């Protein structure tokens, strides 16, 4: 094995063609870059191939409107694994996290509001405005979720204990059985350490609808709704969908600088995460190429991967390929026909890639003034720092919005998470003006009452969202200088997210751990020898985590080591 590095550039087909690479990575999203960085650090020659003109995938910063830099898709950081940040030295490579305090603000049309954050005294005071009982319960709720997150940590940072696929030596089978035994023994010890009551509560959280979990804890509608948004984000499900409690846990298991459950902005936008990882990868010798669209995998007569064919006809050779594309795109589009087992293809084809998500990025000339805060000055206040929950004052409102999408139409009163990163990050907008992110649910991929291809239909829905915000912040619509809108088909076409699903596939209990992307193939290997998954469609799932990329790289290195023995 040897190491060679080239500067990132568009094309560079001659550099790609001149040798057989130790490993190729399809897609320079954050997971693909993470996998490339770890492989290059281990001494492999690695090329990361990106279809677009810019790296980052869904963790990208783009200046769509002059002077305004948008985190175009993902917009907050918390889930990026501490191991990735530390091992790749991302702070040295320019990653700067901006903590939010308070972290959420929910305005109410009746003039009240709820602020929440890492300050326990603030939480107690704010929740007490609605319910003293809930204020007492909230700290216990947070502590229990933190204990559950600690239980999950080891699962995130290691490949699942999958049964070995294909032929293997007797020694390999013994090693695999020992490894699985150790893994399950550790899980059992961790579960027993919780105690029976917490273990039952943990199972309830995993299996129950988020509404049931939150109703058991609290009585205040606005508090339950604020917490419930984390259980439905990026999904088509309702707060009443069984298993939505796990999605709730998934979105609180992150941390910022060691502080559990704290979400942050990234200076320069989310593209700075991808940029820092790419710097670590290139420093280790990886070659990152943009405008290099993969059209198909090349397969040897023996049935092993032999590299990729680019859309411009360039053939890039390697016996190891990692795909950061969605499972559907990887196996249904890149792999030639009649190569993969029928049952595997069926499972991939019929996995849930549905999406109810639209992302909007706004340039505004002034901050929204929320009526409930009774503030008239233009400066940023605590209400502007965190996630602003619009149109979700009760779980019934969230459920009603999801039912609209189930019936085939965009929500009449969409659920909107608004963030204003320019309040803390002065690098992304002109002085005195601001960048606003709107994460909106629920918007079906193919609405029955129109088409996302129709500019008038798109504008009508955008105005519906702006009008809803106007109910809480009068005059907001008049401050908008311009906006960028990505509906589910846009997310599929521009970012490569099948169905517009931000997680590369649903995060239901039937699509996690040993069943992600499909049962029998959860350890990043695939039925095609030499092909691996390293994106969010693999364990442990979606979000800007880096875990799939890091874990996949460890499996590849294990297999490469075997091939040299």
DSSP labels, 517-536: SSTT--SSB-SSBTEEE-ST
pLDDT of 175 above 50: yes
Q: Is the pLDDT of residue 222 over 60?
A: yes
Residue 165 pLDDT level (bands cut at 50, 70, 90): confident
Residue pLDDT, tens place only, 129-149 = 999 999 999 999 999 988 888
Span 447-453, average pLDDT: 97
Q: Has residue 298 got a pLDDT over 50?
A: yes
* pLDDT of the residue at 171: 81
Under a CB-based contact definition with an 8 Å cutoff, are residues 465 and 440 in contact?
yes
User: Which two structure tokens, joined as six digits, stand for 414?
Assistant: 């969409």
Element (H, E) at 363: strand 357-364
Q: What is the pLDDT of residues 316-331, one digit of tens each?
A: 999 999 999 999 999 9
Q: In whole numbers, what is the pLDDT of the chain averaged over residues?
A: 92
pTM: 0.95
CA 31/CA 548 separation, integer angstroms: 6
Distance CA 526, CA 332 (A): 13
Query: What pLDDT is recorded for position 13?
Result: 59
375-425 pLDDT per residue, tens = 556 689 999 999 999 998 999 999 999 999 999 999 999 999 999 999 999
Contact 354, 557 (CB under 8 A): no
Cα angle 470, 474, 479 (rounded to 5 degrees) comes to: 85
Q: Give the per-residue SS3 of 447-470.
A: CCCCCCCCHHHHHHHHHHHHHHHH
pLDDT at 70 (0 to 100): 98
Put residue 437 in one of left, alpha, beta given phi > 0 → left and psi -120 to 50 → alpha. beta
Give the residue extent of every domain in the chain. Answer: 9-59+80-96+268-351+505-564, 121-254
- Cβ–Cβ under 8 Å, residues 109 and 397: no
172's CB contacts (< 8 A; 6+ apart) are 164, 562
Report the C-alpha gap between 213 and 228 in whole angstroms: 10
Q: Which of 129, 126, 131 is nearest to 218 (CA)?
A: 131
Measure the CA angle with vertex 8, ends 39 and 5; round to 5°. Answer: 45
* CATH number among 3.50.50.60, 3.30.300.20, 3.30.360.10, 3.40.47.10, domain 9-59+80-96+268-351+505-564: 3.50.50.60
Phi, psi of 390 (to 5 degrees): -110, 130
- Residue 486, SS3? strand
**∠ CA(73), CA(76), CA(79), 5° rounding?**
110
Q: What are phi and psi of 57, to 5 degrees?
A: 60, -125
* pLDDT at residue 120 is higher than 60: yes
CA distance 476 to 515: 44
Structure tokens at 187: 């899980």
pLDDT at 155 over 60: yes
Strand bridging mode 287-290 / 264-266: unpaired
């Amino acid at each position: 094995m040897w190491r060679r590095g080239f500067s990132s550039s568009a094309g560079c087909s001659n550099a790609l063609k001149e040798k057989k690479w130790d490993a190729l990575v399809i897609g320079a999203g954050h997971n693909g870059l993470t996998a490339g960085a770890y492989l290059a650090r281990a001494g492999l020659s690695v090329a990361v191939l990106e279809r677009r003109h810019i790296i980052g995938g869904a963790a990208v910063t783009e200046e769509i409107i002059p002077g305004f830099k948008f985190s175009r898709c993902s917009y907050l950081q918390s889930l990026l694994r501490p191991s990735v940040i530390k091992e790749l030295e991302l702070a040295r490579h320019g990653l700067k996290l901006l903590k939010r305090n308070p972290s959420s603000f929910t305005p109410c049309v009746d003039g009240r509001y709820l602020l929440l954050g890492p300050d326990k005294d603030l939480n107690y005071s704010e929740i007490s405005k609605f319910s003293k009982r809930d204020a007492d319960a909230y700290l216990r709720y947070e502590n229990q979720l933190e204990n559950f997150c600690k239980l999950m940590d080891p699962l995130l940072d290691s490949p699942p204990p999958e049964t070995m696929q294909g032929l293997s030596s007797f020694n390999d089978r013994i090693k695999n059985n020992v490894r699985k035994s150790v893994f399950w023994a550790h899980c059992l010890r961790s579960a027993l350490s919780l105690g029976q009551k917490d273990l039952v509560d943990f199972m309830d959280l995993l299996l129950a609808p988020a509404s049931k979990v939150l109703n058991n804890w609290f009585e205040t509608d606005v508090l339950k709704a604020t917490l419930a948004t984390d259980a439905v984000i990026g999904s088509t499900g309702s707060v009443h969908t069984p298993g939505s409690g796990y999605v709730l846990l998934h979105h609180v298991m992150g941390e910022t600088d060691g502080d559990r459950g704290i979400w942050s902005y990234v200076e320069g936008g989310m593209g700075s995460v991808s940029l820092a990882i790419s710097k670590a990868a290139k420093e280790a010798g990886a070659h990152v190429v943009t405008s290099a669209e993969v059209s198909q995998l090349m397969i040897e007569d023996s049935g092993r991967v032999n590299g990729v064919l680019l859309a411009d006809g360039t053939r890039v050779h390697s016996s190891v390929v990692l795909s950061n594309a969605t499972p559907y795109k990887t196996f249904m589009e890149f792999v030639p026909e009649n190569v993969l087992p029928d049952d595997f293809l069926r499972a991939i084809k019929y996995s849930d890639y549905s999406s109810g998500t639209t992302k909007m990025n706004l340039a505004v000339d002034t901050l929204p003034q929320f009526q409930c805060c009774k503030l008239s000055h233009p400066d940023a206040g605590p209400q502007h720092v965190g996630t602003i929950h619009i149109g979700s004052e009760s779980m019934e409102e969230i459920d009603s919005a999801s039912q609209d999408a189930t019936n085939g139409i965009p929500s009449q009163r969409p659920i909107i998470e608004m963030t204003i990163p320019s309040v803390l990050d002065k690098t992304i907008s002109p002085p005195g003006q601001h960048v606003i992110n709107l994460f909106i649910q629920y918007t079906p991929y193919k609405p029955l009452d129109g088409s996302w291809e129709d500019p008038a239909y798109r504008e009508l829905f955008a105005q519906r969202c702006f009008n809803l915000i106007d109910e809480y912040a009068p005059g907001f619509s008049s401050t908008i200088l311009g906006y960028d809108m990505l509906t589910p088909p846009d997310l599929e076409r521009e970012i490569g997210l099948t169905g517009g699903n931000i997680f590369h596939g649903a995060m239901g209990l039937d699509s996690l751990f040993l069943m992600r992307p499909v049962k029998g193939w959860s350890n990043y290997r695939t039925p095609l020898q030499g092909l691996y998954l390293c994106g969010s469609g693999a364990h442990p799932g979606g979000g800007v985590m880096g875990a799939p990329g890091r874990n996949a790289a460890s499996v590849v290195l294990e297999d490469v080591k075997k091939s040299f023995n």
